[in-house]
């Protein structure tokens, strides 16, 4: 991209980013979707080579989909010219956007849709379904929608088609299931704050004794099917009325003497259960789960001659021997208590009977945070503001990691700008006491595996974070080679948000993780657990996999874009707990002098 363009673009985009705005710019999302669909449909044209046009539409879709400013406002302020100044948007596509903004329709889209009357928007979200496959299924089986597709799978019509086989059919069946479960479950990052807000209100109502979150939310699972909240109260009737009147509650679905189920306005159900004080611990154990964990704990109780349910742990005389405290239930069964995050029946029940639960990382262990952005790129606070907030949280050090130049939408810095910015970090360090500010950057791993800044620039940093932000749909082989090449460059300290998935929005990149983890171990590359709630990447399962490579180390970061985001560390730590990660494997649980020795290999 031309240098001048790069500079003018960056200015208006700064400072408007907030954690939630990616969800709220609905118009951008809609236009991005339409442009993406146009690209999909253009690939089906066998008469003419549309490669260039397809690419242009895809890129435009990506630009608008990840833009942080409302496209309608851009147009209102600067007209067609302003649209054409956006990266990758030429006259034709700018015209299409203008049409949409003024009429709600894009003529090119409508024309193509007549030729291909298929629900691309939904079908392309299903793993295993690309535009070509969708078209072939339409041409041969008249499949237009996810419902048609499900029927065809159930009737095994797909495996018989040329170019498809049993494996393709299974892949599609799994894709449908995955898509549908992804639709129903809500990201923890949205569900947990909602639950906490309701817990605070109930706590302040004067009507309850205890009020706590249970279920998958307490286990900090990355997505949540419904919320579960436990309450003790002498006035259950008043509690029910209070719940029904909370602004979060859209309607009451079920109201019984112990359980009230409501639909929340954010589109999630919540089960409230009012229990007796003497049952509270047993209920908390029971409703925290998960189910498989509970089944095993109950078997242990039965083997010891007890009965365990949500009301208590009862001996042969039917006396409740441990109902009030959750810990008491485990202890009475001769089990070691483990954090809720570990209760997924991944071996913890067996280990707890032998007192062998590993000591996993805790929030208090975290001494620093190695991934955050400032006003220099797409963050909202200055270096000093970030440092001062982090110090308030008790952090001993932070690393400033603004974007490199390829992230032009985030205002990424080129080598010259980056060096100047690193100088600013030095200055900030001189003005600060009680916290050390490390020099870093989040550097794009480009398509060919090279890094987005000069070696000399990177050499003047304390460490680098390297990550993938573009060309996310490469083949598995190419993607694996791309990442390994970057790891072998000698300039990659940390692999940031490795799989690049966004919960409920974007699938992980297709990469051979075992080969990548092996390369990380061989090259001393640290794996990040990005705690930003819609990323949580690596996730629990990948952490479990990666830690089998015994020399691999991890960093748990917030990826903060404003000072308050530095509080998001708990999402990363809980994810690490779910991956059974011990503090000795986490570099930013180390004191500064030890950390510095670990960052460059």
Residues of this chain that bind Zn ion (CB under 5 A): 442, 559
Least CB distance from residue 216 to ligand DGT, whole Å? Answer: 3
Alpha-carbon distance 214 to 229, whole Å? 6
Least CB distance from residue 203 to ligand DGT, whole Å? Answer: 21
Q: Which residue is nearest to ligand DGT (CB)?
A: 289
For 130, list phi and psi in degrees, rounded to 5: -100, 170
In the β-sheet with 211-214, what is the strand arrangement from edge to edge? 211-214, 226-232, 268-275, 259-264, 249-255
Q: Looking only at residues 267 through 326 of this chain, which bind ligand DGT when binding is defined by CB under 6 A?
A: 286-291, 294-295
By a kind-dependent CB cut-off of 5 to 8 A, residue 542 interacts, out of ligand DGT, Zn ion, Ca ion, none, with none
Tell me: does residue 224 bind ligand DGT (CB under 6 A): yes
By a kind-dependent CB cut-off of 5 to 8 A, residue 291 interacts, out of Ca ion, ligand DGT, Zn ion, none, with ligand DGT
Residue 434, C-beta contacts closer than 8 angstroms, at least 6 positions apart: 391
Question: By rule CB under 5 A, what string of x and - marks binding of each residue 270-309 to Ca ion?
Answer: -x--------------------------------------
CA 441 to chain centre: 21
Tell me: does residue 216 bind ligand DGT (CB under 6 A): yes
In 155-203, which residue ranges form alpha helices assigned H by DSSP? 166-184, 188-203
**Residue 358: other Cβ atoms inside 10 A:** 11
Is the Cβ of residue 228 or residue 407 nearer to Ca ion in the bound state? 228
Q: DSSP label at 316?
A: T
Least CB distance from residue 494 to Zn ion, whole Å? Answer: 11
Alpha-carbon distance 373 to 400, whole Å? 6
Question: By rule CB under 5 A, what string of x and - marks binding of each residue 191-220 to Ca ion?
Answer: ------------------------xx----
Alpha-carbon distance 453 to 158, whole Å? 47
Least CB distance from residue 266 to Ca ion, whole Å? Answer: 15
Is the Cβ of residue 467 or residue 480 nearer to Zn ion in the bound state? 467
By a kind-dependent CB cut-off of 5 to 8 A, residue 442 interacts, out of Ca ion, ligand DGT, Zn ion, none, with Zn ion
- DSSP H or E run through 275: strand 268-275
Q: What percent of the residues of the chain are helix, what percent strand, and what percent coil, each to the nearest 5?
A: 50, 15, 35
Question: By rule CB under 5 A, what string of x and - marks binding of each residue 226-265 to Ca ion?
Answer: x-x-------------------------------------
Alpha-carbon distance 415 to 161, whole Å? 53
Scanning 23-31, 81-89, 200-208, 213-221 for contacts with ligand DGT by CB under 6 A, the matching segment is 213-221
By a kind-dependent CB cut-off of 5 to 8 A, residue 295 interacts, out of Zn ion, Ca ion, ligand DGT, none, with ligand DGT
Tell me: does residue 182 bind ligand DGT (CB under 6 A): no
Least CB distance from residue 298 to ligand DGT, whole Å? Answer: 6
Contact 586, 555 (CB under 8 A): yes
Contact 339, 357 (CB under 8 A): no
Is the Cβ of residue 182 or residue 508 nearer to Ca ion in the bound state? 182
Q: DSSP label at 405?
A: T
Alpha-carbon distance 569 to 138, whole Å? 46
Scanning 220-228, 322-330, 523-531, 545-553 for contacts with ligand DGT by CB under 6 A, the matching segment is 220-228
Is the Cβ of residue 279 or residue 401 nearer to Zn ion in the bound state? 401
Is the Cβ of residue 216 or residue 380 nearer to Ca ion in the bound state? 216
Among 40, 169, 222, 228, binds ligand DGT (CB under 6 A): 228
Among 226, 348, 500, 563, binds ligand DGT (CB under 6 A): 226
Going by C-alpha positions, the residue among 425, 422, 498 that lies closest to residue 453 is 422
Q: Which residue is nearest to Ca ion (CB)?
A: 215
Scanning 66-74, 95-103, 221-229, 369-377 for contacts with Ca ion by CB under 5 A, the matching segment is 221-229
Rg (CA), the chain: 26
Secondary structure E strands in 277-373: 307-309, 312-314, 368-369
Alpha-carbon distance 373 to 511, whole Å? 27
Scanning 140-148, 218-226, 407-415, 557-565 for contacts with ligand DGT by CB under 6 A, the matching segment is 218-226
For 465, list phi and psi in degrees, rounded to 5: -110, 130
Scanning 29-37, 67-75, 103-111, 224-232 for contacts with Ca ion by CB under 5 A, the matching segment is 224-232
**Coil, strand or helix: which one is 401?**
strand
List interacting residues with Ca ion (CB under 5 A). Answer: 215-216, 226, 228, 271
């Amino acid at each position: 991209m031309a240098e001048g363009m790069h500079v003018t673009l960056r200015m208006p985009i700064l400072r408007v980013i907030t954690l939630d705005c990616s969800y709220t710019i609905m118009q951008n999302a809609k236009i991005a979707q339409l442009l993406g669909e146009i690209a999909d449909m253009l690939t089906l044209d066998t008469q003419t080579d549309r490669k260039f046009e397809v690419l242009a539409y895809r890129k435009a879709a990506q630009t608008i989909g990840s833009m942080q400013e409302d496209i309608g406002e851009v147009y209102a302020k600067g007209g067609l010219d302003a649209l054409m100044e956006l990266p990758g948007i030429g006259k034709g596509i700018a015209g299409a956007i203008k049409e949409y903004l003024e009429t709600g329709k894009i003529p090119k889209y409508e024309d193509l849709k007549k030729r291909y009357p298929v629900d691309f928007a939904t079908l392309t979200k299903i793993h295993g379904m690309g535009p070509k496959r969708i078209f072939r299924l339409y041409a041969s089986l008249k499949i237009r929608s996810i419902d048609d597709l499900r029927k065809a799978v159930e009737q095994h019509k797909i495996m018989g088609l040329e170019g498809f086989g049993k494996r393709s059919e299974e892949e599609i069946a799994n894709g449908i299931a995955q898509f549908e479960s992804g639709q129903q479950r809500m990201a923890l990052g949205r569900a947990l704050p909602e639950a906490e807000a309701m817990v605070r209100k109930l706590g302040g109502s004067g009507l309850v004794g205890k009020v706590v979150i249970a279920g998958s939310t307490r286990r900090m699972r990355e997505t949540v099917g419904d919320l579960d909240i436990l309450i003790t109260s002498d006035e259950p009737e008043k509690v029910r009325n209070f719940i029904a009147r909370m602004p979060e509650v859209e309607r009451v679905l079920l109201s019984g003497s112990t359980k009230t189920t409501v639909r929340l306005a954010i589109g999630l159900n919540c089960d409230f259960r009012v229990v007796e004080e003497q049952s509270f611990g047993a209920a908390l154990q029971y409703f925290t789960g998960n189910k498989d964990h509970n089944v095993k704990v109950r078997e242990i109780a039965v083997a010891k001659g007890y009965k365990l349910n949500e009301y208590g742990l009862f001996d042969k005389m039917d006396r409740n021997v441990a109902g009030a405290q959750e810990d008491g239930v485990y202890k009475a069964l001769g089990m070691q208590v483990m954090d809720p995050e570990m209760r997924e029946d991944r071996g913890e029940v067996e280990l707890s009977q032998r007192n062998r639960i590993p000591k996993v990382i805790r929030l208090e262990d975290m001494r620093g945070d190695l991934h955050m952005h400032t006003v220099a790129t797409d963050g909202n606070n200055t270096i000093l503001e970030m440092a001062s907030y982090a110090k308030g949280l008790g952090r001993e050090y932070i690393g400033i990691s603004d974007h490199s130049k390829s992230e032009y939408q985030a205002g990424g810095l080129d080598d010259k700008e980056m060096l100047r910015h690193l100088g600013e970090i030095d200055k900030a360090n001189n003005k600060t006491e009680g916290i050390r500010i490390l020099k870093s950057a989040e550097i794009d791993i480009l398509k060919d595996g090279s890094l987005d800044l000069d070696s000399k620039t990177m050499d003047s940093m304390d460490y680098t974070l390297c990550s993938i932000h573009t060309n996310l749909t490469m083949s598995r082989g190419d993607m694996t080679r791309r990442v390994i090449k970057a790891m072998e460059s000698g300039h990659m300290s940390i692999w940031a948000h490795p799989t690049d998935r966004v919960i409920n929005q974007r699938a992980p990149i297709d990469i051979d993780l075992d080969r990548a983890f092996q390369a990380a171990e061989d090259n001393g590359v640290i794996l990040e657990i990005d705690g930003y709630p819609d990323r949580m990447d690596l996730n629990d399962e990948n952490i479990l996999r990666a830690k089998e490579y015994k020399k691999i180390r991890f960093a748990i970061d917030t990826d903060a874009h404003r000072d308050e985001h530095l509080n998001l560390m708990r999402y990363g730590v809980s994810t690490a707990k779910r991956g059974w990660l011990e503090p000795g494997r986490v570099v930013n649980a180390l004191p500064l002098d030890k950390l510095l020795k670990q960052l460059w290999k």
